[in-house]
Amino acid sequence: MTVFESKVRINKPVSTVYTFLSDFNNHKQLMPDSISSWTSDTDTASFTVQNMAKLVLKISNRIENSSVIIVPAADVPFNVEKRWVTVDLGDGTTEAVLTLSAELNMMMKMMASGPLQKLVDHQTANLAKVV
């Protein structure tokens, strides 16, 4: 597994950050401009990545004020898992960590590592802006 990680400190209580992340309807605000045709409900999201295929993801597990795990809901080019972890730092601040784990062969790793790291960095940066 290849792992990409990004973390951010947010001046909001952990319950606020977790509530935002636990609803897939909010995740569109975290996505880069290369995402189109977004449709979602609380548990699933479907979208198209520019110059790639359509993806369907689902929230497979929620632990209140702690984590949200996202996995593919349909066939994908490679196995992938996104895990948001929220940590209460006290004084009303939260650390949010996004970890994306992907099973990439050597060729895919060379092509996708940069874009996947940019994606997790983009999503954590946007989370700090929109929450």
Q: What is the pLDDT of residue 52?
A: 72
**47 strand-pairing partners:** 55
Q: What is the pLDDT of residue 74?
A: 86
Helix (H, G, I), strand (E, B) or coil at 23: coil
- The CATH number of whichever domain residue 72 belongs to comes to 3.30.530.20
* Cα dihedral across residues 76, 64, 9, 127: positive or negative: positive
Q: What is the pLDDT of residue 111?
A: 87
Q: Which residues contact 51 (CB under 8 A, 6 or more apart)?
A: 34
For 94, the domain range is 2-130
**How far is residue 2's CA from residue 48's CA, in Å, rounded to a whole number?**
22
This prediction has a pTM of 0.93
Q: Which residues contact 76 (CB under 8 A, 6 or more apart)?
A: 53, 55
Per-residue pLDDT of the chain (131 residues; tens, 9 = 90+): 999 999 999 999 999 999 999 999 999 999 999 899 999 999 999 998 887 778 899 999 999 999 999 999 988 777 899 999 999 999 999 999 999 999 999 998 898 899 899 999 999 999 999 99
Q: Kindly state the tokens that stand for 84.
A: 């948001």
- In SS3 terms, 73-125 reads as CCCCCCCEEEEEEEEEEECCEEEEEEEEEECCCHHHHHHHHHHHHHHHHHHHH
Provide the number of structural domains found in the chain: 1
Question: For residue 36, what is the enclosing H or E element?
Answer: strand 35-40
